[in-house]
């Protein structure tokens, strides 16, 4: 977290200067030594002798690491990358050598590189120096502190959602996630409430730390049955935490939470700032119905987190106003209908179908049954084609992937299910989406599907995309900037 110099809001070009300044402030507050250097440079003091020892560090930076990286990525990429980096380092070297303000101003990224290198050398940030007390670890220890409420409890009942960070969070906090598989109802994957109930009885309610449910998720999974889960939690006197990752933007998800709390127990629900408020990744909101409980969590605040995510949301909300935010939400809903229609007709044009997932208000899924063949090659290739064509967010889910996280193996990983009947493709209508996004995505998707079909017809499914294909992709991405 320290000196991270978040590569984040480089995209928020509208407020380049304040953005940059706030990041400086972030670094400043994190590092007293750095503060000193920062003002030193800002005030154009002519000699930077104090930086003498770091010359060496900047000079031979990373050669070895670049060559190590060549084992992972092709060497031409590494060459490009290291050249790009070297041009920044060159400027830094000049500054250290000459000890005076550069004639030509630096780009923001060079300044950031320099600042982050300095921040890394700050004693506060020495890796070996970081006790448990100083970093994110505190958030985890906040959870540990909650053990006091249920001293014996160590199981977290978790209706399966294939999102690694949820799972890792529970493991990191020192608990044992108990994965409850979903049930297939029509095309939809829905909460197996009975299985949760059975697990509670099997483990003993007093051993269950909480039920950890999810609202917003990729179709064909649907938001968990919050009413039933909440009622179950209240019956067994078990806390209930809801992962509402991008659910704030959907009235349906928010309604589910409200209902859950009305008929049963929801202790807290958590949502990401970036996904709901169009700010850079970084913060989250913890909310609940019992003010004291939220206050208790709030008191766990370790005291050194960055204020920047809060500031971003404040600025955004002030900029939009309540009416602006509501307008975005209703536009999103409208685009969900548009996307539904467009995907539906695209699917039928290609002999596929839009999976029927009426309980998922944000994400949609289109079958790729015709691309399955003997293996997932075509399906996987579609994924990489879409990536090349810069269709971001459209994710392709082949069957039978396996993933082991912290000792637990998820069969059918990414599909929230051990054996979903067909491979599929996801697209979502999330806040900020525009008609252009939908139109372009459908157009490119259509092209990709046609190309794959042609390939299959030529009876050579193993053929990699031709150079023609690459060329088209490049042209597409060029015309995307409009």
Ligand X SMILES: *[C@@H]1O[C@H](CO)[C@@H](O)[C@H](O)[C@H]1NC(C)=O
Q: Which of these ranges, 2-10, 27-35, 62-70, 163-171, lies near ligand PLP under the rule CB under 6 A?
A: 163-171
Do residues 247 and 253 make contact, with C-beta atoms less than 8 angstroms apart? yes
CB of 80 to ligand PLP, least distance (A): 29
424 to 226, 280, 368: CA distances (angstroms): 26, 29, 5
Determine, following the binding rule CB under 6 A, whether residue 214 of this chain makes contact with ligand PLP. yes
Write out the two tokens for 189. Answer: 């994957």
Closest among 319, 235, 219 to 277, alpha carbons compared: 319
Please give the DSSP secondary-structure letter assigned to residue 404. Answer: E
Classify the C-alpha dihedral 241-244-248-252 as positive or negative.
Answer: negative
Write out the two tokens for 385. Answer: 């084609």
CB of 119 to ligand X, least distance (A): 15
Out of 25, 163, 172, 340, the residue judged to bind ligand PLP by CB under 6 A: 163
> Can you tell me the distance from the alpha carbon of 409 to that of 402, in angstroms, rounded to the nearest whole number?
7
Please give the DSSP secondary-structure letter assigned to residue 466. Answer: P
Q: Pattern of binders to ligand X over 381-420, x per CB under 6 A?
A: ----------------------------------------
The residues, any chain, with a CB within 8 Å of residue 18's CB and separated by 6 or more, are none
Q: Which of residues 279-308 bind ligand PLP (CB under 6 A)?
A: 284
Determine, following the binding rule CB under 6 A, whether residue 60 of this chain makes contact with ligand X. yes
When CB distances are held under 5 to 8 angstroms depending on the partner's kind, the choice from ligand PLP, ligand X, none that residue 65 binds is ligand X
Closest among 170, 167, 168 to 144, alpha carbons compared: 170
Q: Pattern of binders to ligand PLP over 243-282, x per CB under 6 A?
A: x-xx-------------------------x----------
Out of 61, 101, 139, 195, the residue judged to bind ligand X by CB under 6 A: 61
> Any binding-site annotation on 71?
no
Out of 7, 50, 52, 63, the residue judged to bind ligand X by CB under 6 A: 63
When CB distances are held under 5 to 8 angstroms depending on the partner's kind, the choice from ligand X, ligand PLP, none that residue 214 binds is ligand PLP
Do residues 340 and 364 make contact, with C-beta atoms less than 8 angstroms apart? yes
> Can you tell me the distance from the alpha carbon of 302 to that of 268, in angstroms, rounded to the nearest whole number?
19
How many residues of this chain interact with ligand X, rule: CB under 6 A? Answer: 6
Determine, following the binding rule CB under 6 A, whether residue 65 of this chain makes contact with ligand X. yes
> Can you tell me the distance from the alpha carbon of 80 to that of 62, in angstroms, rounded to the nearest whole number?
14
> Any binding-site annotation on 135?
yes
How big is the CA angle at 299 (ends 296 and 300), to the nearest 5 degrees? 95
Q: Which of these ranges, 59-67, 100-108, 333-341, 429-437, lies near ligand X under the rule CB under 6 A?
A: 59-67
> Any binding-site annotation on 152?
no
When CB distances are held under 5 to 8 angstroms depending on the partner's kind, the choice from ligand X, ligand PLP, none that residue 347 binds is none
When CB distances are held under 5 to 8 angstroms depending on the partner's kind, the choice from ligand PLP, ligand X, none that residue 455 binds is none
Determine, following the binding rule CB under 6 A, whether residue 67 of this chain makes contact with ligand X. no
Where b means 16+ CB within 10 Å and e means fewer, 338-360 reads bbbebbeebbeebebbbbebebb
CB of 130 to ligand X, least distance (A): 16
Do residues 207 and 180 make contact, with C-beta atoms less than 8 angstroms apart? no
Ranges of beta strands (E only) in 98-169 are 155-159
Where b means 16+ CB within 10 Å and e means fewer, 203-234 reads beeeebbbbbbbbbbbbbbbbbbbbbbbbbbb
Determine, following the binding rule CB under 6 A, whether residue 166 of this chain makes contact with ligand PLP. yes
Given the complex with ligand PLP, which of 30 and 217 has the nearer CB atom? 217
Determine, following the binding rule CB under 6 A, whether residue 125 of this chain makes contact with ligand PLP. no
Determine, following the binding rule CB under 6 A, whether residue 431 of this chain makes contact with ligand PLP. no
> Any binding-site annotation on 199?
no
> Any binding-site annotation on 79?
no
Interaction site with ligand X (CB under 6 A): 60-65
Interaction site with ligand PLP (CB under 6 A): 161, 163, 165-166, 214, 216-217, 243, 245-246, 272, 284
């Amino acid at each position: 977290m320290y000196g991270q110099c978040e590569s984040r809001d480089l995209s928020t070009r509208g407020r380049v200067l304040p953005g940059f300044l706030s990041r400086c402030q972030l670094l400043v507050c994190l590092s007293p030594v750095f503060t000193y250097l920062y003002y030193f440079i800002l005030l154009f003091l002519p000699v930077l002798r104090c930086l003498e020892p770091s010359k060496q560090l900047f000079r031979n930076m990373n050669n070895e690491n670049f060559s190590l990286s060549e084992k992972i990525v092709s060497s031409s990429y590494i060459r490009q990358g290291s050249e790009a980096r070297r041009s920044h380092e060159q400027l830094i070297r000049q500054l250290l050598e000459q000890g005076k303000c550069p004639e030509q101003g630096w780009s923001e990224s060079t300044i950031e590189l320099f600042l982050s290198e300095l921040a890394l050398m700050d004693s506060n940030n020495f890796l070996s120096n970081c006790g448990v007390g100083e970093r994110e670890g505190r958030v985890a220890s906040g959870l540990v502190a909650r053990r006091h409420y249920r001293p014996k409890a160590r199981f977290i009942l978790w209706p399966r959602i294939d999102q690694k960070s949820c799972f890792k969070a529970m493991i990191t906090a020192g608990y044992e996630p108990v994965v409850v598989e979903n049930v297939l109802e029509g095309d939809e994957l829905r909460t197996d409430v009975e299985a949760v109930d059975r697990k509670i009885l099997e483990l003993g309610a007093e051993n269950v730390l909480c039920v950890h449910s999810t609202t917003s998720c990729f179709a064909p999974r649907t938001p968990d049955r919050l009413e039933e889960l909440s009622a179950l939690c209240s019956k067994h006197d078990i806390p209930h935490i809801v992962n509402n990752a991008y659910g704030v933007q959907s009235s349906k998800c928010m309604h589910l939470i409200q209902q859950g709390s009305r008929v049963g127990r929801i202790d807290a629900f958590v949502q990401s700032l970036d996904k709901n408020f169009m700010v850079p990744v970084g913060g989250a909101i913890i909310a609940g119905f019992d003010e004291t409980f939220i206050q208790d969590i709030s008191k766990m605040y370790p005291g050194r987190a960055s204020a920047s995510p809060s500031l971003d949301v404040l600025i955004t909300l002030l900029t939009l106003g309540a009416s602006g935010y509501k307008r975005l939400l209703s536009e999103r809903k409208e685009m969900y209908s548009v996307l539904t229609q467009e995907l539906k007709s695209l699917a039928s044009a290609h002999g596929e179908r839009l999976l029927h997932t009426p309980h998922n208000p944000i994400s949609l899924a289109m079958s790729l049954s015709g691309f399955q063949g003997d293996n997932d090659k075509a399906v996987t290739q579609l994924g990489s084609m879409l990536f090349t064509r810069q269709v971001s967010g459209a994710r392709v889910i082949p069957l039978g992937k396996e993933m082991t996280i912290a000792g637990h193996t998820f069969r059918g990983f990414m599909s929230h299910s051990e054996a979903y009947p067909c491979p599929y493709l996801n697209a979502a209508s999330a806040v900020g989406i525009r008609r252009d996004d939908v139109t372009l995505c459908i157009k490119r998707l259509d092209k990709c599907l046609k190309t794959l079909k042609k390939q299959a017809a030529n009876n050579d499914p193993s053929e990699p995309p031709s150079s023609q294909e690459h060329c088209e992709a490049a042209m597409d991405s060029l015309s995307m900037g409009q």
